[in-house]
Each structure stands twice: as structure tokens, then as C-alpha cells.
Amino acid sequence: MMKRTVLAGLLALGLSAVVSTAAEVRNGARGLVYEVDTAAKEFTLLTTTAYDPEQMGKENRFRVRYSDKTVFTLVKTERNLLHVPAEGRDAVAFYLKKEEFAKAEETGKVTTRTLEILPTCGRQKQEISAERGRIYGMVTPAKDRRGLTATLTVGEREFSYRLGRRGTVRFVSPSDASALLPCVSTARIGGREKDGTLEVTRIEVSHLPDPRKTDDPNLPRVLIIGDSISMNYNASLKGFLAGKANYHRIDGNAGPTSRGVTSVDLWLGPYHQKGLHWDAIQFNHGLHDLAKNADGTYLSDESQYKKNLEYIISRLKLTEAKLIWATTTPVPNDGGRGRKKGASKAYNAYAAEVLKNHPEVRVTDLYAVAISDAVSDEWRQGNNVHFGAEDSAALGKAAADGILAVLGQGK
């Protein structure tokens, strides 16, 4: 999902990405909004790129043109139903496959990962396609402290509803082009092909928090790019940097280097703009690259890993931020997802070869911390690559030391 540091996401003007015409924007494209020209009824949309191991830097900027007939909606996403008025019923939409809805009719129970709260003008009927059904109904929230349950009414039938694990509730309301806020909004494009071009008939907009309103302007801005290990030590690192830096982390998991190639421009954001620059960036990819596919090959072999990492670094350097490479933490013992003990050491060696071309990049050796710190003795006996609270605190402290050092705040 795009939110807070998805704002770590617009490509600086004049870089290598190609600006395409609206005819080349694919139906359903989603990305960051900038360069809004309301008079001309157009804006630029920055999306992730398609991954091509042979050709890095696919086009990711598109000029989107809309008309007076384009329907705008504004979407606010929540994790529960607490914002649904308890005294009234709202129109909703949700997806269930035909067989799933048939089962729901038998049990009287519905669970989905996404529920849309529609405008009052929204359709209120049941509609199921052959493959996947978009079902319309009404919702009455239950008196549930967590806001996860409700009563759904579809036609004449009532269902007991529960929002699924990590589910989202999308509040949809009518809007207009004024919702297109440069650098702090995302848009999803819908339309139909007409004479070889995409006629944009609907644009769904979501707003992002604006860090310029919450950051301390007297402190440097720091961005963390990493996988679930950086998510493990996220709270610890944020705590160590409190009062010393404005801390930002990409939304979600950075995954393998292939995802870095396709998403790095989105993560970096409009860094040429005041208050949206980066003073230091810590980055890592590795644990996903070294996972093995079903055929025994690595997700990214040595050659591709190096090539991908080289490209990612080239994009990071454009920000003129101080860069810190965090080494990939160990696979303690052979475990799930095709990860083998010792693979991290090999991939760290591959990264070290790449970094020889970039001596200005500082290295924070999280591998060494995890492999030697006494607090991780128990962790090293298992096969889970993820860390508990104490282990994560040690990693967070090491990461903070590296960041503060490049910011001139080290010991």
C-alpha cells in the first residue's frame, strides 16, 4: 500500500525516465502525482517500472490528461470500521468469487481483506461475475471495540461480517481535480481505449501525510530502504535517532534487488524539493535475492545481483545524500524459503565487489553484529532469519551509529 514514505517516491526532473503520452498509460496504472496543471487538465504520474534484467531504467513517468467528464473519487484507508457511523447504514462493496459467495450464503458469514465504504450514491445491489464478484450491499457496524465486525445486508439477506487479518477499509467519496495534490497524493487511473489512446474516465486519489508539516526543519532527513529485517529493528533505530534526525522508512518490504530496480525512484521521492531531500540513506537487499527458486536457482544469481545493486546505487547517488550500505544479516541455519546457511556471507562478498566502485558509501556491518553479539546466541540456534526485540535493539544501535557517523554526529 502507498502511504507515508511512498512519498519517498517521485523521480527528480530531468533524469533518465521517459515521459510518455497519455496514450501509453495503462488502464489501472497507479502511482505518485506531481507536476499538476489544472488549467491544461493534466499531471504527471510516477509508477514502478517493469523489471527487465537486461535493460535497467524502464520508463516510469506518464503524462495523464483528463477531461470535464472524468469522475474523481477520494479514498481514505483505515484498518477498521470505527469510522463508520454506528447510527446509520452505509453502502459497501466487496469482492468474493462466485463459489466463495455461495459458501457465505450457506454459513451466513463473510470475511474479506478489503471493504469499500461507498458514497451514498453508490449502487446497492448484488452483482457477481463468472470469475470474481463485486458485491454491493449495506453495512451496519457492530459494537466492537476493535471495529472489525459488522452486519452486511445484500439484497434481503443478512451476513455476519469480519474484516480479515491485515484488512483495510476504503472510504470512498466524490471529489474533483482539486484532490490532485503534487507530491502528497497517489492516483489510480481508469478508462477505456478509444482510437488507440486511453480515454481517462475515472481517477481515484488518495492523500499522503506531508512530512514537511511534521519533520523538524532543523534536523537532517534519513531514509531507510530494506527488507523485513529493517522492519524488525525499525522501532529501535527510530528511537536511537529521536531528536537527532527526521526518520523515514519506505512503506513495506524492499524485497530483492529486482524490486529495488523497479521501485527506487518511487522510494526516493521529489528530493530536489525543499523539505523532501535526503541527507542520509541506509539501504540493503540480500535475503530475498539469496532465496532459491523451486528449480534450485537463486532468485538473483551473482551476476544479476551485482548488476541490480550497481543500478540502485547509481539512482541513490543522484540525491547527493550520504549513503550507508547495511550488510545482509545471516541465515542462522537452513530454513524456509530456500535459504541456506552461509548464503548471506557469499552475497555480502558480492556486494563488497560492487562497493569497490563506490568508496564513498559507508558500510554498517549488521552481519557481524548478528553473528557475534552475545544477545543473539539463542537466535543463532534456530533457522528463522527474523529477530526478536533484544536482537533487533542491537541491530538498531549499530544502524544508528552508522547513520549518525555520516551525519557528523558520531563519537
Structure confidence by residue, pLDDT tens digits, 300-326: 999 999 999 999 999 999 999 999 999
Q: What is the pLDDT of residue 333?
A: 66
Structure confidence by residue, pLDDT tens digits, 38-87: 999 999 998 888 888 887 877 788 889 999 999 999 999 999 998 887 65
Query: Secondary structure of 359-402 in the HEC alphabet?
Result: CCCEEECHHHHHHHCHHHCCHHHCCCCCCCHHHHHHHHHHHHHH
Residue with cell 469482492: 95
Query: Secondary structure of 67-82 in the HEC alphabet?
Result: CCCCEEEEEEEECCCC
Q: How far is CA 385 from CA 232, 258, 314, in A?
A: 11, 20, 29
Chain region(s) in the chain for CATH 3.40.50.1110: 211-406
Q: What's the DSSP call for residue 128?
A: B
129 has a pLDDT exceeding 60: no
Structure confidence by residue, pLDDT tens digits, 75-102: 999 999 988 876 555 788 888 888 888 8
Q: What is the pLDDT of residue 379?
A: 61
CATH architecture of the region 211-406: 3-Layer(aba) Sandwich (3.40)
Beta strands in 103-156 (DSSP E): 109-117, 133-141, 149-154
Structure confidence by residue, pLDDT tens digits, 134-185: 888 888 888 788 999 999 888 888 999 999 988 999 999 999 999 999 999 9
Task: Quote helix, strand, coil % in the chain, to nearest 5.
Answer: 25, 30, 45
